[in-house]
Amino acid sequence: MRYWLMKSEPETYGIDHLIKKGGPDIWEGCRNYTVRNFFRDDFKPGDMAFFYHSVCNPAGIAGTMRITRGGYPDPTQFDPKSKYFDPKAPLDGSRWLAPDVEFVEKFDQIITLADLKSTPGLEDMFVVRKGQRLSVMPVTPVEWEIVMNLAHKNQ
């Protein structure tokens, strides 16, 4: 099993949208080749991911989700009405991929980026690195445990 951190703006698609879905949902619209390659090569059913709310105040980890389906052709690339439409996408769907995810847990409090930056053991976590702009990034098992301990320390 692998661990991931996946960013989304909560106004566009936040953890509450995933909860409301009530089952697996597509993680659509990623338009970065590194992320596409993660979806294609590395995402497997059963992997776990942090749901990170970005471009908001406070930005941070809102909870967890499970990968239920690895990368498959993102249908939004073919939909001219979608903001993720790509007129250059080949018909075989190989340009942009998307996985399916399902809700696991919403944390009582957002674990803020400041919290992550100040927590020993997370100094090398991709999300805290200066200049890191990917919307999907790997998380080590040790980082996963540290963050989960932060989430549950006051329960």
What does the pLDDT average to over 66-92?
95
Per-residue pLDDT of 80-130, as tens digits, reads: 999 999 999 998 888 999 999 999 999 999 999 999 999 999 999 999 998
Reported confidence tier of residue 132, pLDDT bands at 50, 70, 90: confident
> Global pTM?
0.94
Are 7 and 30 in contact by the 8 Å Cβ rule? The answer is no
Instruction: Write out the H or E segment, with its range, that includes residue 148.
Output: helix 141-152
CB atoms within 10 A of CB 29: 17
CA 88 to chain centre: 25
Instruction: Write out the H or E segment, with its range, that includes residue 144.
Output: helix 141-152
User: How high is the pLDDT of residue 148?
Assistant: 98
Cα–Cα distance, 74 to 86 (Å, whole number): 10
Rounded to a whole number of angstroms, the distance between the first and last alpha carbons of the chain is 26
User: Where do the domains of the chain lie?
Assistant: 3-152
Reported confidence tier of residue 146, pLDDT bands at 50, 70, 90: very high
CATH class of 3-152: alpha beta
User: How high is the pLDDT of residue 6?
Assistant: 98
Quote helix, strand, coil % in the chain, to nearest 5: 30, 30, 40
